Amino acid sequence: MPGRKRKLAAKTAELAPEAGEGSESTSLVGSADASASTAAGVAHTEQQEMPSGGLHESFLESIPPAASFLEELAWVESLASPSYVAYLCQMRRFDDVVAQRRLTTLQRWRQDPAYRQHVSQPIALFFLEQLCSAEFREALRHPAVAALYERQVDLYRRCYGNLLNTGESRVLR
């Protein structure tokens, strides 16, 4: 996403002058004041980048609400891919407390019609709901279960995807 890269580059550019001062200071080997200022600069940088909520949450808080909306929409729609959801579960991305809190926050996409109308793939909302369950996340770590969900979503898209696009009311069998 070009916009995200630009924002990350801008954030890096803001921090770059501080890092540049620190690298000049470390080149002065004999100066104790320089190393102390470098340590203070690093501590200051770490406090800016890593607030208590985590790096991703601080990134979402620093961008305007419209961009945050689009970022969340893109992430929710990425859950429409069962292989991606299985990968996230296999890598245990949802096991920590911050990720679980984030999942419960994102439930508004499933519950609120104002948010739900923007989601183009409804199966993503199903996976968003199911990811809150520890049993579901554990089951998706097994390749056979992940393959089953992949087949089921593929069948759903084949049968009902055409109906959504054409407006027909009959079910294909």
Inside any domain, residue 54: no
pLDDT at residue 11 in the model: 52
Confidence at 40, pLDDT banded by 50, 70, 90: very low
Say yes or no: 38 and 121 in one domain.
no
Distance in angstroms (rounded) separating the CA atoms of residues 107 and 112: 8
Average of per-residue pLDDT across 61-72: 74
Q: Which domain holds residue 140?
A: 68-166
Confidence at 68, pLDDT banded by 50, 70, 90: confident
Q: Which two tokens stand for residue 35?
A: 């190393």
User: What is the pTM (predicted TM-score) of this model?
Assistant: 0.57
Inside any domain, residue 160: yes
Say yes or no: 28 and 77 in one domain.
no
pLDDT at residue 3 in the model: 56
Inside any domain, residue 116: yes
Inside any domain, residue 62: no
Average of per-residue pLDDT across 157-172: 62
Say yes or no: 80 and 153 in one domain.
yes
The sign one gets for the Cα dihedral 146, 151, 152, 156 is: positive
CB 126 within 8 A of CB 149: no
Confidence at 9, pLDDT banded by 50, 70, 90: low
Say yes or no: 45 and 121 in one domain.
no
Inside any domain, residue 61: no
Inside any domain, residue 56: no
Q: Which two tokens stand for residue 104?
A: 């419960």
Inside any domain, residue 173: no
CB 125 within 8 A of CB 76: yes
- Of the chain, the percentage scoring pLDDT greater than 70 comes to 54
Considering only 18-27, 72-81, 128-137, which range has the smallest mean pLDDT?
18-27
For the chain, what's the residue count? 173
Query: What is the CA angle 61-69-50, rounded to 5?
Result: 25
Is residue 24's pLDDT more than 50?
no
pLDDT at residue 159 in the model: 82
Q: Which two tokens stand for residue 96?
A: 């920590």
Please state the domain count of the chain: 2
Average pLDDT, the chain: 72
DSSP state of 173: -
Distance in angstroms (rounded) separating the CA atoms of residues 74 and 1: 10
Say yes or no: 126 and 76 in one domain.
yes
Considering only 44-48, 119-123, 157-161, which range has the smallest mean pLDDT?
44-48
pLDDT at residue 7 in the model: 56
Inside any domain, residue 57: no
